[in-house]
């Protein structure tokens, strides 16, 4: 493993690597993991080529092989389709074990927690992140405490319970749920792994960029469309790309095109594209207003010369129908990418003959009734 540091992005201070840290308490800064002297390495010498899963990348992950051996996932397929003269590569990350890309971040976070002998984790999410953290807690024999709004759908609660999660139902707003989870960390001596903050989560997600590079070659990818709310996907993909760049493995940097739910498009707003008038009901995985890493997200778009789109429920419905008709059995939240593709082509952000990657983030299987009712409208 390449040695790494954990730094506060606000003040630059280094934090300890042998205890669990998820933010810099003193100044509320977000944390980032950096590998020492990465620019002196070549990717091919760092890869563990005997593995066709996330263990290939163990040398550039902040956890030891022993702890990834417990649940070595990864390498989701890519399927290529032509669309209006553009070559679109769909990355099927909804095929990971819990049904979303969040498995990558949850796995690396939980593996790290296990390595640090942590017995209890705390997360606030009733959605894909909650399911992913519950699943890897099961696989690693760690107690998962999941904080959710009291009015979360009963189906989601049943699924989390079936994965043996301890549910903590909180009356109040999403922010109050978040505060209750963080309070519980102090009281319970558990580790708060919330994916809005936790830097290990981003390390897991970055493997998506490494896989895309190994499967396609990032130098020939012009843009990547990324559904975005708290930023863990956007920042993970960005970090992977920048690491590959620093190793000299790629010279091109693909544009990152973020897509957000209308009414909750905080990143778009920050970039000057507005929030979107309509408040989305369908893209429920993307409804976060105050992502702690918003500054980093803005940087990822600017550095890659990318852009940001917000998408209405009508566009989500059209996208969901279109993606299912192409054979991609995704959930509504993932379907925002289709409208983004159309907008990017019509605004010439994406041009004919270009190669574009679309990350399909979440499976429709676990909410089949809802998906089928939307498709049949």
Whole-angstrom Cα distance, residue 344 to residue 305? 13
The residue (of 45 and 369) whose beta carbon lies closer to a second copy is: 369
Name every residue whose Cβ is closer than 8 Å to that of residue 308 and which is 6 or more positions away in sequence: 228, 257, 258, 259, 260, 265, 267, 268, 271, 273, 301
What's the min distance (Å) between Cβ of 92 and a second copy? 7
Q: Which is nearer to a second copy, 270 or 284 (CB)?
A: 284
The helix or strand, by DSSP H or E, that contains position 307, with its residue range, turns out to be strand 307-311
Which of 45, 50 has the CB closer to a second copy?
A: 50
Closest distance to a second copy from the beta carbon of 15 (Å): 31
Pick from 165, 160, 232: nearest CA to 200: 232
Min. distance of Cβ 324 from a second copy in angstroms? Answer: 6
The distance of closest approach from Cβ of residue 210 to a second copy in the complex, given in angstroms and rounded to an integer, is 12
Between 126 and 262, whose beta carbon lies closer to a second copy? 126
Identify the three-state secondary structure at position 310.
Answer: strand
Minimum Å gap between C-beta 332 and a second copy is 14
Q: Which residues pair with 358 in a beta bridge?
A: 90, 225
Do the Cβ atoms of 281 and 322 come closer than 8 Å?
A: no
Residues that bind a second copy (CB under 8 A): 52-53, 69-75, 77-80, 92, 95-99, 135-136, 138-139, 155, 158-159, 162-164, 214-215, 324-327, 329, 363, 365-366, 368-369, 371-372, 375-376
Output 273 or 324, the one with its CB closest to a second copy. Answer: 324
- Alpha carbon distance 177, 175 (integer Å): 5
Write down the least CB distance from residue 329 to a second copy, Å: 7
**HSE value, Cβ hemisphere, 13 Å, CA-based, for 343:** 18
Strand residues in 208-285 grouped as ranges (E): 223-227, 255-261
Shortest distance in whole angstroms from residue 360 CB to a second copy: 10
In whole angstroms, the minimum distance from the beta carbon of 33 to a second copy comes to 24
State the Cα–Cα distance between residues 106 and 133, nearest whole angstrom: 5
Least Å distance, CB 8 to a second copy, is: 34
In DSSP notation, 183-220 reads HHHHHHT-EE--TTT-HHHHHHHHHHHHHHHHHH-GGG
- Shortest distance, CB of residue 154 to a second copy, whole angstroms? 10
Instruction: Please enumerate in sequence order all residues whose Cβ is within 8 A of that of 116, keeping only pairs 6 or more positions apart, or say none.
Output: 18, 19, 20, 191
Q: Which is nearer to a second copy, 160 or 259 (CB)?
A: 160
For residue 362, give the DSSP letter.
B
In total, the chain counts a number of residues equal to: 377
- Name 100's bridge partners: 362
Neighbours of 141 (CB within 10 A): 9
List for the chain the helix, strand, coil content (%; round to 5).
Answer: 45, 20, 35
Nearer to a second copy, 74 or 204 (CB): 74
Residue closer to a second copy, measured from CB, 136 or 200: 136
Nearer to a second copy among residue 204 and residue 306 (C-beta): 204
Instruction: Pick the closer one to a second copy by CB: 155 or 248.
Output: 155
């Amino acid at each position: 493993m390449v040695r790494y540091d954990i730094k506060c992005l606000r003040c630059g201070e280094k934090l300890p690597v042998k205890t669990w840290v998820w933010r810099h308490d003193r100044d509320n800064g977000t944390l980032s993991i950096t590998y020492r002297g990465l620019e002196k390495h070549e990717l091919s010498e760092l890869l563990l080529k005997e593995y066709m899963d996330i263990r290939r990348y163990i040398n550039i992950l902040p956890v030891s092989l022993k702890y990834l051996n417990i649940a070595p996932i990864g390498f989701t397929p890519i399927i290529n389709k032509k669309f209006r003269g553009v070559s679109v590569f769909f990355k099927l990350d909804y095929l990971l074990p819990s049904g979303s890309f969040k498995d990558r971040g949850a796995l690396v976070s939980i593996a790290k927690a296990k390595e640090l002998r942590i017995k209890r984790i705390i997360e606030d999410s009733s959605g894909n992140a909650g399911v992913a953290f519950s699943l890897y807690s099961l696989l690693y024999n760690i107690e998962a405490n999941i904080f959710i709004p009291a009015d979360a759908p009963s189906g989601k609660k049943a699924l989390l319970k079936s994965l043996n999660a301890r549910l903590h139902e909180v009356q109040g707003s999403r922010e109050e749920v978040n505060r209750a989870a963080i309070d519980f960390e102090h009281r319970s001596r558990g580790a708060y792994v919330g994916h809005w903050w936790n830097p290990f989560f981003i390390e897991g997600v970055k493997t998506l960029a490494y896989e895309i590079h190994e499967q396609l070659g990032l130098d020939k990818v012009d843009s990547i469309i990324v559904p975005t709310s708290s930023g863990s996907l956007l920042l993970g993909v960005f970090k992977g790309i920048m690491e590959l760049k620093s190793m000299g493995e790629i010279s091109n940097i693909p544009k990152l095109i973020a897509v957000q739910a209308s009414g909750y498009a905080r990143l778009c707003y920050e970039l000057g594209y507005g929030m979107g008038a309509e408040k989305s009901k369908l893209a429920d995985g993307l409804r976060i207003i105050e992502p702690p890493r918003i500054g980093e997200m803005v940087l990822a778009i600017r550095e890659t010369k990318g852009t940001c789109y917000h998408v209405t429920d009508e566009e989500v419905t059209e996208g969901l129908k279109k993606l299912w008709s192409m054979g991609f059995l995704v959930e509504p939240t993932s379907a925002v990418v289709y409208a983004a593709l159309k907008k990017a082509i019509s605004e010439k952000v994406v041009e004919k003959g270009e190669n574009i990657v679309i990350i399909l983030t979440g499976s429709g299987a676990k909410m089949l009734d809802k998906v089928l009712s939307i498709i049949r409208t």
